[in-house]
Structure 1
Amino acid sequence: MSQQHSNAVVVTGIGALTPVGNDREDTWAALLGGHSGVAEITRFDPTGMPTRIAAEVKHFVPEDHFDRKRLRRSERFSQYAVVAAREAVRDAGIETGSDPEARLGVQINNAVAGFPGIEAATDQMHSDPRKVSPYFVSSVIPNMPACEVAIDLGAHGPVNASALACASGIHALLEARRTILAGEADVVIAGGTDSAITPVMFTGLSNMGALSTRNDEPERASRPFDTDRDGFVFGEGAVVMVVESAAHAAARGARPYMEISGGALTSDAFHVSAPYPEGTHAETAMRRALATAHLAPGDIDYICAHGTATRINDKLETRAVRSVFGEDADRLLVSSPKSMVGHMIGAAGALSAMVTALAMRDGAVPPTVNLDTPDPECDLDYVPHTARKTDVHTAMVNAFGFGGQNVVAVLRKL
């Protein structure tokens, strides 16, 4: 192993629960095939609401995974995280258990915590306070998915949770990398999760004007970089990865998907929901991420874009990419999986990292669907409509969140 890679941090396992598949490989097949998971909302009755569509996880039966006692104390965003973590651990071949000396940590991030439980408990409080669950508080707080995963796997190392809005999922991988490089753990179970398809959430986002209202064509509603985009499609799910030092992976004979080579965080420090004009600080995050990975713009093959299908964000992300990459921008492949799974909020960045890892494995980049009329101000190669066979060696993942949080990761095939 070269000195360059002796301190590397790698991904050795991936698990997923998404609007287009209940595991990693089904999700990947759907994304490569350009299949959308957007449909009419079933979680509640959306009649009369401006937006009646979402990207829900389908065919998930909690009782298939948890006993009744555990279901009573947990919210869906925790359940998703545990199921995805179990798959990731199996994929990595990691032995877990109750050894308190094991250097196994957890970093599961989310953006909106247990929103459905909060709404339900509020309704119960008004009708009969005695019906509010004694597990209400412990089930909805934002650290609970990480704690539930730790309990499930017997992880006694550092267990953390952070909320960086829509940048939460990719931040989890960077924080896992930091934890390992700091010597605090050998392995970290890391990713993002969210499940908040509720009437109050949709009412608030609709009043903000953030959501697509293309209710009559759900599968065509999420349109990143298209002239006719009218907002993002709200989604849910979880993506979790096993992150470990390359030395630890080599010692146990594991084959990594990729290296987490570097990353950066910046803040717009500008507005609670609007991005900074010109995308200046997103651009800075991209430049710093490249610098931490000791790479130049010309080294990147693929960008898994934030690509939400909102008017401003898509334009500013494109502008930032062009500023950072210059002439290299025209040869880059850029795509947005949100065109098929919607915006999975706290899990979105982790989903993008999974897409990148599997693109490296299989030599194929998934498409940006619904890109029928490209916006003249969004003029990169977004891999429209159909997946493209190509070797991906080094990639960038962009994730930007409310409050002006910009998180960029650089990932490399080994």
Structure 2
Amino acid sequence: MRDAVWITGLGACCALGQDAETVADALEQGRSGVRLQPGDAAHGVAPFPAAAVETALGAAMPPAQRNLYDRHGLMALQAADEAWTQAGLPAQVEHPERAACAWGTGLGGSNSLQQSYTEMLTRETPRIHPYTVIRVMSNSAAAHLAIRYQLQAAMLAFSNACASSAQAIGEALLLLRSGRAEIALVGGSESMLNHGSVLAWRAMGVMAPPDAQDVAQSCRPFDDGRSGLVLGEGAAALVLETASHARRRGARPLAELAGYGHSVDAVHLSRPELAGQLRAMRAALADAQLNPADVGYVNAHGTATEVGDAVEAQGLAELFGVRGVAVSATKALHGHLIGAGGALELVATVQALRRGRVPASAHVRKSQLGELIDLVQGGPREIAPRALMSNSFAFGGSNVSLLLRPV
């Protein structure tokens, strides 16, 4: 019989707050982190809605050390520190060779990359920052975390668009089950609210304009008037342990990470595919040895794009039955963290399981898709302690489903 994998620590840093409890409170209260960002008229960037982290990062760190980090790396450090502390772990693990790190990011050091290009293109004699390469590389945050906590068993760095951190978490689950490690620090971080990135997303036609009634409600997943995604930034971290390792040190489990499903559409670079999403969800259920009826809630990918939400709602209805499972999309409040989205949404789902209440899908004014799915609206809903699912579906066709259940 395989050893169960427990979640023993959570950490979060995003526009809703600087810790996992504050983020969960904001989701329950329906408090949006989306604000109007100023843009840059000189470069054709109109003001845009986004969920930005407004507090200082790495303020206590010596400047020479802080210079090693891109912005998303500083967020990773903050979220990881909270998760590590909650798990009750020492500053460095007792057996480093049995501890791993698995981290996801979509664009890695996007801000450092733009800084470098700006320097190169605007100055006659550019002075590129000497740490640009190590800030920009996609494994930068993972490497910082491995060094900080001496995680020597493995470093898994995933850059798989919007599925990056969810896949990192799932693959870490397999790593622990295989016996190659007994503890893993997992999650993801993303910060791409620079003007180059915003222009690129806008050029695709998938970014929502500022909502005419209320900018904070610009992201409206599953609403009939949805107009696209709103970018967010931040990080989320979880500590995973084999149940036997956690028991030996007297750790308290927050939930069991029970199932992982991953599929690839292999159809289109940006158009979601129903069959691929269903394969991922069914694979997660099979991995956890659960049936659809065992799942009481799904934290949907829910980006508020016209086609994406429609395909996802159809898939949920096909798997769980029409209005067969409670569904909400927290991106309405914290924005789309791209590579870090899956980790933040899993943290939100763990918090919902612990509290016995799932957050509502905010800003829904009218929804025909609500005829297909049981969309949680108007406030949090109490749930029985059953299995909960979190979905991440990415450009490139990667689909990841993660399943939790109480311990």
TM-score range, shorter chain: over 0.9
Structure 1 distance, partners of 2:129, 2:233, is 24
**By how many angstroms is 1:98 displaced?**
7.4
Does 2:253 match 1:260? no
Structure 2 distance, partners of 1:258, 1:283, is 24
Structure 1 distance, partners of 2:217, 2:169, is 31
Contact 2:36 2:210 in 1 (8 A): no
> Is the alpha carbon distance of 1:130 and 1:209 closer, same or farther for their aligned partners in structure 2, counting shifts above 3 Å?
closer
Does 2:333 match 1:340? yes
Picking from 361, 364, 372, the partner of 2:365 is: 372
Structure 2 distance, partners of 1:87, 1:212, is 32
Does 2:315 match 1:285? no
Picking from 218, 235, 238, the partner of 2:235 is: 238
Contact 1:166 1:399 in 2 (8 A): yes
Structure 1 distance, partners of 2:230, 2:384, is 30
Give the secondary structure class of the aligned counterpart of 1:249. Answer: helix
> Is the alpha carbon distance of 1:355 and 1:46 closer, same or farther for their aligned partners in structure 2, counting shifts above 3 Å?
farther
Does 2:174 match 1:178? yes
Does 2:194 match 1:198? yes
> Is the alpha carbon distance of 1:335 and 1:80 closer, same or farther for their aligned partners in structure 2, counting shifts above 3 Å?
same
Match of 1:269 in 2: 266
Structure 1 distance, partners of 2:133, 2:115, is 12
Greater mean alpha carbon deviation, residues 112-121 or residues 101-110: 101-110
Give the secondary structure class of the aligned counterpart of 2:162. Answer: coil
Match of 2:135 in 1: 139
**By how many angstroms is 1:102 displaced?**
4.3
Give the secondary structure class of the aligned counterpart of 1:230. Answer: coil
Amino acid at match of 1:116: N
**By how many angstroms is 1:51 displaced?**
5.5
> Is the alpha carbon distance of 1:183 and 1:176 closer, same or farther for their aligned partners in structure 2, counting shifts above 3 Å?
same
Match of 1:70 in 2: 65
Contact 1:290 1:296 in 2 (8 A): yes
Q: Deviations over 1:385-412 (max 9, x none)?
A: 3111222420111100001111111111
Structure 2 distance, partners of 1:31, 1:310, is 21
Amino acid at match of 1:274: R
**By how many angstroms is 1:261 displaced?**
1.0
Contact 1:232 1:308 in 2 (8 A): yes
Structure 2 distance, partners of 1:303, 1:376, is 15
Match of 2:10 in 1: 14
Structure 1 distance, partners of 2:92, 2:352, is 32
Amino acid at match of 1:389: E
Amino acid at match of 1:227: D
TM-score, structure 1 as length reference:
0.94
Contact 1:315 1:377 in 2 (8 A): no
Does 2:221 match 1:228? no
Amino acid at match of 1:239: A
Does 2:318 match 1:323? yes
Aligned-residue sequence identity (percent) comes to 33
**By how many angstroms is 1:24 displaced?**
0.9
**By how many angstroms is 1:46 displaced?**
6.2
TM-score, structure 2 as length reference:
0.95
> Is the alpha carbon distance of 1:387 and 1:99 closer, same or farther for their aligned partners in structure 2, counting shifts above 3 Å?
closer
Q: Deviations over 1:5-25 (max 9, x none)?
A: x61011000000011001111
Match of 1:107 in 2: 102
Amino acid at match of 2:62: D
Match of 1:398 in 2: 391
Contact 2:310 2:369 in 1 (8 A): no
Structure 2 distance, partners of 1:371, 1:176, is 35
Give the secondary structure class of the aligned counterpart of 1:53. Answer: strand
Contact 2:96 2:150 in 1 (8 A): no
Contact 1:51 1:202 in 2 (8 A): no
Q: Deviations over 1:308-331 (max 9, x none)?
A: 1000010000101111122xx424
Equivalenced residues, count: 404
Greater mean alpha carbon deviation, residues 47-56 or residues 301-310: 47-56
Contact 2:16 2:33 in 1 (8 A): yes
Structure 1 distance, partners of 2:345, 2:275, is 22
Give the secondary structure class of the aligned counterpart of 2:221. Answer: coil
Q: Which runs of 5+ in 2 are unaligned?
A: none
**By how many angstroms is 1:356 displaced?**
1.2
TM-align CA RMSD: 1.7
Give the secondary structure class of the aligned counterpart of 2:262. Answer: strand
